[in-house]
Structure 1
């Protein structure tokens, strides 16, 4: 085995077979990312308190309860020989590095006071489950919906339920259609709030853009695929590990999640593939009743069933304890649907518990799907492999050298007998409300569409006549609408075009709402300056403009004014923190002009209008901004507030943060643009979610892929390749990943030979 390193430090592995290839991939991944891999494994397995002590105890209990690592160990025992080889040889390579290169173990281990432990198949699977959890965000939406029903009643709450729009479905209605079977019983607001707090420290943020143009729309005559997955990209070195994987029969250059083998996004010698989150509804919350006659049991209708109890031991860092650690035993209860996640909410006096059911834990199989990507020669073979990707709901877009383009969703989605999973399901009898899985043939997909391109931006992709419940939670359609504008423009598209599209900062939401907002602000003297700024705006979220700041600040305060009077501050905050829950619905209300939600119910003698709320929102926003940037709205530049701050995982805040991180940069874009820059609603406007990779693969180019990471190849602090791509990423500059043998050889800076025993 030979490893070539290029000018970026990126590894290109040459091996005679797949077994050696995955061994070498594990070895070089450990060279570059071992500390990151160890941290992710500790997190996914509920062992962060071994590193962080008492402050991580509750997080570890939650992770143990969810059971990523527990189920990973179960899954590992089910794998067939081929999939076991895939993961075991990767683990062997990681462990070979740990054993043979003790002098090269990352400095971060010493700084954190821990040592690397042998890598196991379950570590990789637990990371896969954790990523799958991140792709399934509907549990929070269920709780919010339940809280709205309890506060307002089902009919009133339905007025602000999520509005999901598929721009490709002309027949789709924008009207709310409340499910008549919606749960109207009360769980209790305290229960709901604590249930939401269960997920506070467990990230549920993921998105992406992806598209592919067919040969007739591509300048080189072969398809071009572009992908920029959106994750928590501000933490170095970023989740994706890039490398080249080459044998006499296979060639792939792309990325995988650090700690997992193979390739998820990139290009092979037969095709290019990329992903976005599909937001398929794979999870349900259940309201279960503890048996009043026996609290060790729960009720299945009129039958009493024992909780299945698992005992686990936490090892918590404690300098006062012998050996520097103390142990604490915890008990995890499970019903036949899944773990009881309300079990660590002390002080709740109720006979109800909440359990979580997730299809990923019920759909374990002998294969993972992605381990077969390198062997796929046709899109038919690829789609067959994707049929086994059960642990994560993705939109996989692909393009092959024969000129085909397509899209396939993955994951196991249940067929439900009652309801649409809008709210937690109250268990009333012993019948299973999951009766099977949506058939593979019925999962959303397309091959060679007539328009000549295919794409996805996390929006709703199923049509109104889709026969199954797919989701009630998807991204607003703004990014996809902008993509339609760009790709439907006549003419063939080049790599440069695709690259520019990924950096596009036109805000389609602002184009609709800002003119309405501007008219309201121009009508009042005290907000006229802000109105003029909006009136002159080209709707591009550019760092050197003040208009994006004015728009985002006013719209935030407008949303708070719309909802807080009816919902109360706590519930309004909970809802507004989940952008996808309310964005399309509020836009519809603004453009319609009249809504009872615009009236402030606390002012009985006055009936406020939409424009009244925009005016008050502008006053509130101006107070916030003036306190930091002065009274002149023209100086409230977007780049001053909308920043991309790269931080090290060992110092995310406090002294040394800048020294160990990658710096702060003014950023274009917003949550509504193709150049993604999402901020937390109640912590404006610093970016938390953005592109974790930009890649454009032109199948007409035999030598390279255009791509860039928001960081670098390695996770080693102070290594030149830790942050060497940051400036290129922020400037929208191309970096090249080499594909052909000649290009790899030409750009090789270092080589390494591996000879495993």
Structure 2
């Protein structure tokens, strides 16, 4: 939705500006930064910035202040407009440059309070970290000052100048990423409206339960401490349809994925030296996020003798390296996916909507009056944000929802108009200090130092794998995971009583963890982190076990593995979910009455299921995935009605529900009805064949997965012709799917264009950290006209990697441009 609104607002502006300027060439190329020679700026001592053949900056400084100043400077050189859109989106200031269509998104982001939470926690940030943040901001601002008349072309299009960057801008990015990786609110909303009205046993049967044959990252027996906790109790409270609908509109508006409710994931694994050719650990990480232009990640290498020598990736706008390696240790993340959000139903005082009941007494809420500046309007839009003891009231973000096909109006409701206030309790609203943790990772020399840094990282909660040059490997779940007095976080709870409060967070040594396991490796793919004996509730939102299972298979296939094996594993397209359910599909379809085209499609599917690779030149994946898309609707809509299916389909539950039903010989979902799993499979198959025949012809042998499953990277300005020719990448035929280790995820709402994958892949052998490799979906620069705008795309598509260059000698040998920042 954000991209759509940006396109409408900006495309006409760009065309007018380009026409007035006589063309784009001059505007684009005058904004390209100086990456060679010398620049006089606010550093204390000279800083060398060596750009390698892919434009990746390697920064050599003599002071910590200068190091982070230079990092801010190069990020601004390469990604300034990305930084600009990021901070305006997160802070709720897009309407100021984009106009009235952004008011609702701005109100949403201010209500959730990413920037507010970061600001409230600034006083608790480590003082040394604040110095790094300020130095980083100073570097960004030095670039802005130096290039006041040659900013990226997008500033000219929009007709505004950027404000100075601040440490708060950087801190806010961390809060926003916690939101992207830690939301289960949609499931709570659905359960709140559906559980009181539908068959509870049937609904709960759709929650996927890991059994003992599925891989977990560790076993409780590998942990050092036994744990016991009390049983959970789920409350029974009802939400109105109007309440749920109003919030879903807001969530849909802010959601960057093609269909809300489809989560983000990642892969990481670390292998002990006893299973590697080099005798030292191997580590691999590819974090799965939305795919767009420019890339979500920025590659850089930071060197300060005696303190930092670290390389890897970072979110643009943030100092340091979030994932990568230094000369002693390496690490990687996947999303732990814990339930870190709860919805509390507040009971307002009829005489004062800014008071809420709690344990029999009325308590004042915090009220913030916001003013949203709007381009083209003389007066700002005023918005009231109400914050209870549990968090912001989210039911006044938008007006009542009228129709799922209708654009909501621009009215913002006040507290008096909210009939069922819902407050959001969320771990990232707490005071946290993730950047101190990240800088601790960057300079850690051993696991003890690395673990000390992990303890500071609260949100988003992650699965961390670790390796070091001494041969140690480790896994630890990291972040705040709430302990509830009652309930399991699956549905909204009463906010007027203390019975359902969070009583604290799972202690560090009680989170899943282990060091140097007997089996010789750890692997995580958003699967359940610890086995059934673990007593704390972590989540209902683990990914299905197929990626984790496949990673384990590939590790076990060879006695000794090397770095090339890691690369091959990250781009593996074997679909274990299809292999699991193939016999069920074949059994149902063999007994069905099929047309000639359907019979041909069945033969294609049956042959493919013997070795289900999601390769782009195969027809089998087309039949399989089209059938799966149809199954989501056919299995659930007839039994939920259109009203509840709309809510259901905006959660991750359809993924889990299908898995449960397909695995069960007598699924509870169909019991007591005249429907069946077999009938639903046949109907879905027939619908899928008709769909594909209409779009790709009646000969299933000629259907090709790569023709329908395409990889594109769209810039916020690039979906309107002819801007797509300037900004966008693709489309390219590509393999993989949502369930393969080589992630190429598509939305069940808008198949089959790829919207989810690994913007950055990373592998390292601790025997030779100088030989670590990575690949980015695009390139180092977001500047049109740069040689490094998309120079890694082809490599990424082909599953190839570049050397990251780590030692000074290697960087010098492969450096193509050197810029010296000189003191004034």
TM-score range with shorter-chain normalisation? Answer: over 0.9
Change beyond 3 A, Cα 1:10–1:281? same
Is the contact between residue 145 and residue 161 of structure 1 (CA under 8 Å) also seen in structure 2?
no
CA contact (8 A) 2:124 2:431 kept: no
2:817 corresponds to 1:750 = yes
1:446 lines up with 2:518 in the alignment: no
Give the TM-score taking structure 2 as reference length: 0.86
> Partner of 2:373 in structure 1?
315
Change (3 A) 1:347 1:221: closer
Alignment partner, residue 237 of structure 1 = 294
The worse-fitting range, judged by mean Cα deviation, of 31-40 and 71-80 is: 71-80
Q: How does 1:73-472 map to 2 (within 5 A)?
A: 73-164=119-210, 167-168=214-215, 181-203=233-255, 205-233=263-291, 235-249=292-306, 250-318=308-376, 321-322=377-378, 326-347=379-400, 351-364=419-432, 368-430=436-498, 433-472=501-540
Q: Distance in 2 between matches of 1:492 and 1:230?
A: 27
Moved more, 682-691 or 198-207: 198-207
Q: Which residue number corresponds to residue 547 of structure 1?
A: 620
1:672 aligns with 2:739: yes
3-state SS of 2:253 partner: coil
Equivalent of 1:530 in 593, 597, 601: 601
Q: Match of 2:411? A: none
Kept after mapping to 1: 8 A contact 2:487/2:500: no
1:591 — aligned with what?
663
1:714 paired residue among 760, 763, 781? 781
In terms of mean alpha carbon deviation, does 263-272 or 551-560 score higher?
551-560
Counterparts in 2 of 1:126 and 1:510: CA distance versus 1, 3 Å? same
1:260-319 C-alpha deviation (Å, 9 max, x unpaired): 00011111011111111111222111111111233232211321112210011101112x
Contact 1:389/1:411 (CA < 8 Å) preserved in 2?
yes
In structure 1, the residue corresponding to 2:661 is in which secondary structure? helix
RMSD: 2.1
Measure the CA separation in 1 of the matches of 2:342 and 2:720. Answer: 36
Contact kept? 1:165, 1:460, Cα under 8 Å: no
Distance 1:634 1:573 in 2: 35
Q: Is 2:434–2:457's contact at 8 Å kept on the other side of the alignment?
A: no
CA distance in 2, matches of 1:366, 1:224: 26
Q: Does structure 2 retain, via aligned residues, the 8 Å contact 1:577–1:681? A: no
CA contact (8 A) 2:346 2:422 kept: yes
Seen in structure 2, the aligned counterparts of structure 1 residues 633 and 68 have a Cα distance that, compared at 3 Å, is: same
TM-score by length of 1: 0.94
Checking the alignment, whether the CA contact within 8 Å between 1:282 and 1:358 is kept in structure 2 is yes
Q: Which has the higher contact order (CA 8 A, sep 6+)?
A: 2
Per mean C-alpha deviation after superposition, the further-off stretch among 346-355 and 496-505 is 346-355
CA contact (8 A) 1:363 1:412 kept: no
Moved more, 204-213 or 488-497: 204-213
Q: Is 2:493–2:500's contact at 8 Å kept on the other side of the alignment?
A: no
Change (3 A) 1:298 1:619: same
Which one of the candidate residues 750, 753, 756 is aligned to 1:686?
A: 753
Closer/same/farther in 2, CA of residues 421 and 756 from structure 1, 3 Å limit:
farther
Aligned match for 2:114, one of 52, 68, 89:
68
- From 80, 90, 94, the equivalent of 1:48 is 94
- Structure 1 residues 577 and 373 mapped into 2: Cα distance closer, same or farther (>3 Å)? same
Counterparts of 2:731 and 2:753, CA distance in 1: 10
- CA-CA distance at 1:593 after TM superposition: 2.9
1:565 corresponds to 2:634: no
Structure 2 counterpart SS, 1:567? helix
CA drift at 1:522: 3.2
Distance 1:241 1:282 in 2: 28
Q: Identify unmatched segments of 5+ residues in structure 2.
A: 1-46, 221-230, 256-260, 402-416
**Change in 2 beyond 3 A, CA 1:45/1:478:** same
The count of corresponding residues between Structure 1 and Structure 2 is 739
- Say whether the 8 Å CA contact 1:153–1:184 is kept in structure 2: no
After superposition, give the CA deviation of every residue in 1:629-659 in whole Å (9 maximum; x if it has no partner). 1111222211111111112222234543244
Equivalent of residue 806 in structure 2, options 728, 739, 756:
739
Residue number in structure 2 paired with 1:17 = 63
C-alpha distance after superposition, 1:547-577 (max 9, x if no partner): 1111111122123111111111243243234
> What SS does structure 2 have at the residue aligned with 1:196?
helix
The answer to whether 1:36 aligns with 2:82 is: yes
**Superposed displacement of residue 445, structure 1:** 1.5
- How far the C-alpha of 1:437 sits from its partner, in A, is 1.5
Q: Distance in 2 between matches of 1:69 and 1:371?
A: 21
**Structure 2 residue 589 is matched with structure 1 residue 521:** yes
Could you give the per-residue CA deviations for residues 304-360 of structure 1, whole angstroms, max 9, x where no partner exists? 112210011101112xx45xxx41121100101100000134349764200001122
**1 CA distance for matches of 2:73 and 2:640?**
54
Match of residue 564, structure 2, among 473, 478, 496? 496
Cα separation, partners in 2 of 1:594 and 1:432, compared to 1, 3 Å: closer
Residues 611-650 of structure 1 mapped to structure 2, 5 A cutoff: 611-650=678-717
Q: Helix, strand or coil: the match of 1:566?
A: helix
Tell me if structure 1 keeps the 8 A contact 2:117–2:430: no
- Displacement after TM superposition at 1:91 (Å): 0.8
Q: Partners of 1:207 and 1:104 in 2: how far apart?
A: 38
Deviation larger for 650-659 or 356-365: 650-659
Q: 1:176 matched to which residue of 2?
A: none
How far apart in 1 are the matches of 2:94 and 2:254?
12
Which 4+ stretches in 1 moved above 6 angstroms? none
Shift of 1:392: 1.6
User: Does the CA contact (< 8 Å) of 2:202 and 2:669 recur in 1?
Assistant: no
User: Structure 1 residues 55, 351: closer, same or farther in 2, change over 3 A?
Assistant: closer
CA–CA distance in 2 between the matches of 1:197 and 1:99?
40
Match of 2:414 in 1: none
Alpha-carbon distance change, 345 to 100 in structure 1, aligned in 2, over 3 angstroms: closer
Distance 2:651 2:708 in 1: 21
Q: Distance in 1 between matches of 2:346 and 2:296?
A: 37
**Separation in 2, partners of 1:754, 1:180:** 59
SS of the residue aligned with 1:254? strand
Structure 2 distance, partners of 1:372, 1:76, is: 18
Tell me the alpha carbon deviations over residues 195-232 of structure 1, each in whole angstroms, 9 at most, x when there is no partner.
Answer: 22221133374211001111111222211111111011
